[in-house]
Amino acid sequence: MKKVTVLLISIVFVGVASAVPAQVWWDRGDEGSTWQEWTFDDSDNPAAPEALFNPYGEPEAKLSTPEVPPDYFGCLAQMDGRQGVWTGEPLDIKLDIPNRPNLEDHKEVWLEGVFQRDLTHITITPSPTMDGYVNEVYRDISVIQSDPQWYVLTVGWYIEPNPLKERICIRISGTGGRLDRVGVDTICIPEPATVGLLGLGAGMLAVLRRRRAI
Ligand SMILES: [Ca+2]
């Protein structure tokens, strides 16, 4: 092999190695993984995801508002260029996601949602509650440049030990909290972990950005 070729390969390798950890993410359909995406094509409540891969059960989204009586609450067929938008003031979303019942694992969860107004809170509750911890490894809210009326929320969590399922609770408020779509990817990873937490988070974020359908 010519020296210049070796040099070029070395440069590429070093460049990649310095930017991306050895093992950085999973593909949808990998062992122990699930994914589910709600686009709210109809007004069903609870709502089943429009697209999913989850061999461990049936994920579900419940929409509600704590306001009594509600000023406005419902699923709009169209809103600001988006179809199928849940709205409430505030709007509460609960996502229940079953998962692989293996207590020897730890779990990674990534969520991405398209919404309007203010994110009041987002929490994840592993079930059953066990001794362990939930670590939020990433959170970002960014305006969609091509569609600045809407924002993208991206959150990642590391959970150990692995719970049987998750409940993710989101509240969106402001002058009408609105949710156009939300997707969740999860994976159960057998211990001992072979990947670094921070590196894994960065890599999975790259995957989510590639998958983003906005
Ligand atoms: Ca929608």
The overall longest dimension of the chain from CA atoms, in Å, is 76
Distance 45 CA to ligand 1 centre (A): 14
Distance 171 CA to ligand 1 centre (A): 17
Give pLDDT, residue 35: 94
- What six digits make up the tokens of 119? 């994110």
Would you say 98 and 58 are in contact if contact means Cβ atoms under 8 Å apart?
Answer: yes
Q: What is the CATH number of the domain that holds 37?
A: 2.60.120
Give pLDDT, residue 205: 54
Low-confidence ranges of the chain (pLDDT < 70): 1-25, 192-214
Could you tell me if residue 33 is inside a domain?
yes
Strand partners, 185: 35, 110
Could you tell me if residue 95 is inside a domain?
yes
Distance 40 CA to ligand 1 centre (A): 5
Give pLDDT, residue 175: 79
Give pLDDT, residue 101: 83
Could you tell me if residue 72 is inside a domain?
yes
Task: Tell me the chain's radius of gyration from C-alpha atoms.
Answer: 19
Each residue's pLDDT tens digit, 44-103: 999 999 999 999 999 999 999 998 998 889 999 999 999 999 999 999 999 999 998 887
Measured CA to CA, the distance from residue 181 to residue 82 in angstroms comes to 9
Please report the beta strands in 73-212, taking only residues with DSSP state E, as ranges in sequence order: 73-79, 82-88, 91-98, 105-127, 133-143, 151-160, 165-190
- The structure tokens 């390969």 sit at 9
Could you tell me if residue 116 is inside a domain?
yes
Give pLDDT, residue 204: 54
Measured CA to CA, the distance from residue 120 to residue 172 in angstroms comes to 5
Distance 22 CA to ligand 1 centre (A): 36
Measured CA to CA, the distance from residue 160 to residue 134 in angstroms comes to 7
Could you tell me if residue 96 is inside a domain?
yes
Measured CA to CA, the distance from residue 97 to residue 86 in angstroms comes to 20
Q: Average pLDDT over the chain, rounded to whole?
A: 82
Distance 85 CA to ligand 1 centre (A): 5
Give pTM, 2 decimals.
0.80
Would you say 102 and 67 are in contact if contact means Cβ atoms under 8 Å apart?
Answer: no
Burial 128-137 (b: 16+ CB within 10 A, else e): eeeeeebeeb
Burial 36-65 (b: 16+ CB within 10 A, else e): bbbbbeeeeeebebeebebebeebbbebeb
Could you tell me if residue 18 is inside a domain?
no
Could you tell me if residue 107 is inside a domain?
yes
Give pLDDT, residue 53: 95
Distance 74 CA to ligand 1 centre (A): 13
Could you tell me if residue 12 is inside a domain?
no
Would you say 36 and 109 are in contact if contact means Cβ atoms under 8 Å apart?
Answer: no
Distance 108 CA to ligand 1 centre (A): 25
Give pLDDT, residue 185: 94
Q: Which domain holds residue 113?
A: 24-211
Instruction: Look at the chain and report how many structural domains it folds into.
Output: 1
Would you say 45 and 62 are in contact if contact means Cβ atoms under 8 Å apart?
Answer: yes
Distance 141 CA to ligand 1 centre (A): 18
